Structure 1
Amino acid sequence: MPFATSADGERLHYEVHGDGEPLLLLAGQANNLHWWDSVREDFDAAFTTVVLDWRGTGSSSRPDTDTYSTRGFVDDVTAVLDHAGVGRAHVYGTSMGGRVAQWLAADRPERVGRLVLGCTSPGAAHGVERSNAVRQSVAQRDQVAALRALKELMYTPGWLAAHPGHRFCTLGDPTMEPYARRRHLLASSRHDAWEALPRIGAPTLVVHGTDDEFNPTANAGLLAGRIPGARVRLIEGARHAYFEEFAGVATPLVVRFLQA
């Protein structure tokens, strides 16, 4: 089980799979590397994939310190790439992982080949935030109802009905400590890369589901409008976990772009 060491001395668990050009896959808020389990093998067929547990999740260290931020996570990602012997990689970040990917591409352009930003946002200051109704649905005290609401924000009703025994890896790391969940939430909510986006020089593809209310679809156009030459692809009918439910569309789309 490989571990990198962060700049502040924390242990960062990661895995390397596949064969080909390096591809860094960055998971969403409060999730670990298993976020990618349902689609990672498809990427392994074309790339050497690198996945990691964010600090606070999985087998990585879980410091209860003020060291969680989307820009700060770039240091952790860089430590993982260095330990894995990867100088430059394509980057595919989804949700909070897409926020981290924005900073990685802007601050350390020499480490990024091509960039894919999925179901993500430039940040609350300039982006489109989820509605109060959505916020309340996932924050209600009835945990069963809150989980049901989260599933329905991630996947379509038809897909959920057809997969009653599905092993969900996108609903948060169940082993996380409450303090780590709060710190991840703050890191994501404080993200603001608006002024940095025009510095991104990597060829960029922005992907989003048309029915994403968890991270509203309008953010895709905002990101593409700030990143020079960026392209947008919207996946019809998809919600926040488009990359899993609509993998038959999304994965080939991303692979073609990365291999262009």
Structure 2
Amino acid sequence: MKKLNFLLIFFFYSIFQSQTVSGTIFSKDDNKVIPYVKIGVDKEKIGTVSNEKGEFSIDLTSVAPDKKVKIEVSGFETFTQNVSEVIRKNPQFIYLQEKIHSIKEVKLVPKKLVDKNWGVNTKNKSVTYSVNPQQNKESFLGETALEFSTKKKAKISAINLNIAEFNSDKPVLMRYTVYSEENGLPGKSLLDEEINLELTADKIKDGVFSLDVNDQNIWVKGKFFVGIQFLKDFEGHIRISAALFKTGYLRQFYGDWEKVSIAAPAINIDVKVDKYSNNDSAEKDVEDNVSASFQDYSQFLDAAKKSGFGKNSLAGKVLHLKDADIYYEIYGKGEPLFLLHGNGGSIDAFTKEIPELSKHFTIVAMDTRAQGKSTDTSKEPLTYIKFADDVKALADELGFKKINILGWSDGGNTGLEFAIKYPKNVNKVITSGANVFPNGVGESMVNDMRNDVAKMRAENKSQNAIRLQQLMVDEPKITRQQLNSIRAKVFVLAGENDLILRPHTEYIAKEIPDAKMKIYKGASHGVPIERAEELCADVIDFIKN
């Protein structure tokens, strides 16, 4: 009897503890099942996708009972219900009400429609978004979106996805969604019905998967977003081409959308623009600047490889230190200007700057330790102070008592550390996209980098790669007092759409005595690539005047 009582207690305890809800989604209008529906918890990164029969199962064990289960499907009214109620009615048979669309009076007016292509159209294979369910089962069902903007009314005729690699023997199920804009983020779906599709290798032509959506009658104006989501686990992986330093948007199920400024997926759309939609036939046909705002860095990367910078045996030398070999190249004549690249980069990051700046200065372009052709045999964590020590060692080796520094991203962080630690050895410092503590890029990006470190450890990536990623999670740690102590002339630069938050850039410029600041309009974190000519002119003027 005691054993039976124990089993009953255990049974009811298990039911109470495990609150997994299953069910089926139907259309209330015709009682047909609705396949591939996203079921989640509002404002939470918890959810699932129903199968082709509309069936789903979701674990709500760790969710507060007053939270809302949410179901949104294009063409249907949004369904919400308290978690406690959903659990009580388990299993669930959920009927969604079809939206009623009011039909407006249509005036037939001859239109002049102009064909355009907007968005990210790079076919970059070195910078990609990786979709691999086997490596990351929790987040691969998340959604990625890209922002667009048009001053004129336009009809989307095709949605294109540039794919660098497709590795799957079976069709991959995915969904496109077009969203309105709300508070700078994706808002409500603009679609009357879901755009679900199967992606297969034979549908990818010249690295592009193009889906004709002309019959969907999707008209847009103002800001809007195009999102992609993978709906079902699959064997294999996909790599989507991406544009560096451009803003994309990510979310997990019904969690908050988050900006990600490291790279944007190569989503682009074919549109038919109503040239005179503003009822002003005399208005100049202003190009809606969507594709122009996304630089294709693949051409730059190819040019950098061919330039010879970073592997020039005639200009290159090596400084042998106790725990590192520092590779560097020297160009030009004049007062010394050290070029310091960003995390994971190399000398060729300044391919566009070296030819011009070497006409005015002695350029010392160096690969930071553990990057490019420079080595590192130390075991302790990498730090920007250590990088600054390497710069000092190289300056001493070359006999320079005072140097100028142009540092991009992590190189800018190193430049600031150098100015703090070696005030007598620095003349002027120019930073582009620098930060003085990790959260300068935003908490969500720091969390992403922290997760990347964990993933890299699990995948047994190289220790150097892990240490470089960990560096951005832990550092820099420059205080306000240290910024106040800098006596060198400092020019703080950033792109208008930099991944370094604008208030953070402004904070750096404000706290360094007499610092100058410039924001490059329309540029991202990649100012040395996107605004090379303007940057060179600014650097020359700042150092010489």
Q: TM-score, normalised by structure 2?
A: 0.38
**5 Å matches for 1:66-215?**
66-124=380-438, 127-130=439-442, 132=444, 178-189=462-473, 190-194=475-479, 195-212=481-498, 214-215=499-500
Structure 1 runs of 4+ aligned residues shifted over 4 Å read 133-137
Greater RCO between the two (CA within 8 Å, min separation 6)?
A: 1
The answer to whether the 8 Å contact 1:3/1:14 transfers is yes
Distance 1:203 1:64, change over 3 A: closer
Offset from partner CA, 1:133-154 (integer Å, 9 cap, x none): 79759x88xxxxxxxxxxxxxx
**Between Structure 1 and Structure 2, whose CA radius of gyration is higher?**
2
Q: Does 1:220 align with 2:505?
A: yes
Which structure has the highest helix share of the two? 1
SS at match of 1:2: strand
Give the CA deviation at 1:34.
1.5
Letter in 1 for 2:372: G
Aligned counterpart, 2:78: none
Letter in 2 for 1:103: E
Aligned counterpart, 1:50: 364
CA–CA distance in structure 1, aligned partners of residues 356 and 462 of structure 2 = 33
CA–CA distance in structure 2, aligned partners of residues 187 and 136 of structure 1 = 14
Offset from partner CA, 1:41-68 (integer Å, 9 cap, x none): 1111111011111111222113261151
Aligned residues: 220
SS at match of 2:336: strand
Aligned counterpart, 1:232: 517
Give the CA deviation at 1:108.
0.2
The answer to whether the 8 Å contact 1:122/1:222 transfers is no
Letter in 2 for 1:186: Q
CA–CA distance in structure 1, aligned partners of residues 336 and 355 of structure 2 = 14
Q: Does 1:4 align with 2:319?
A: yes
The answer to whether the 8 Å contact 1:12/1:53 transfers is yes
Offset from partner CA, 1:187-208 (integer Å, 9 cap, x none): 2332111231111101111111
Offset from partner CA, 1:110-134 (integer Å, 9 cap, x none): 111111111111112xx53236379
Q: Which moved more, 1:180-189 or 1:74-83?
A: 180-189
CA–CA distance in structure 2, aligned partners of residues 50 and 255 of structure 1 = 15
Offset from partner CA, 1:145-164 (integer Å, 9 cap, x none): xxxxxxxxxxxxxxxxxxxx
Offset from partner CA, 1:81-121 (integer Å, 9 cap, x none): 12222221111111001111111001101111111111111
CA–CA distance in structure 2, aligned partners of residues 110 and 186 of structure 1 = 31
SS at match of 1:87: coil
Match of 1:60 among 365, 374, 378: 374
Q: Which moved more, 1:62-71 or 1:99-108?
A: 62-71
SS at match of 1:90: strand
State the Cα RMSD in Å: 2.2
Distance 1:208 1:86, change over 3 A: same
CA–CA distance in structure 2, aligned partners of residues 46 and 134 of structure 1 = 38
Aligned counterpart, 2:336: 22
Give the CA deviation at 1:18.
0.8
SS at match of 2:391: helix
Q: Which moved more, 1:215-224 or 1:100-109?
A: 215-224
Letter in 2 for 1:193: I
CA–CA distance in structure 2, aligned partners of residues 119 and 27 of structure 1 = 11
Distance 1:99 1:86, change over 3 A: same
Letter in 1 for 2:464: A
Gaps of 5+ in 1: 141-176
Aligned counterpart, 2:541: 256
Distance 1:81 1:133, change over 3 A: closer
CA–CA distance in structure 1, aligned partners of residues 494 and 445 of structure 2 = 21
Distance 1:64 1:72, change over 3 A: closer
The answer to whether the 8 Å contact 1:116/1:254 transfers is yes
Q: Does 1:245 align with 2:530?
A: yes
Give the CA deviation at 1:210.
0.7
CA–CA distance in structure 2, aligned partners of residues 187 and 23 of structure 1 = 25
CA–CA distance in structure 2, aligned partners of residues 229 and 11 of structure 1 = 36
CA–CA distance in structure 1, aligned partners of residues 435 and 377 of structure 2 = 26
Give the CA deviation at 1:231.
1.1
Give the CA deviation at 1:9.
3.6
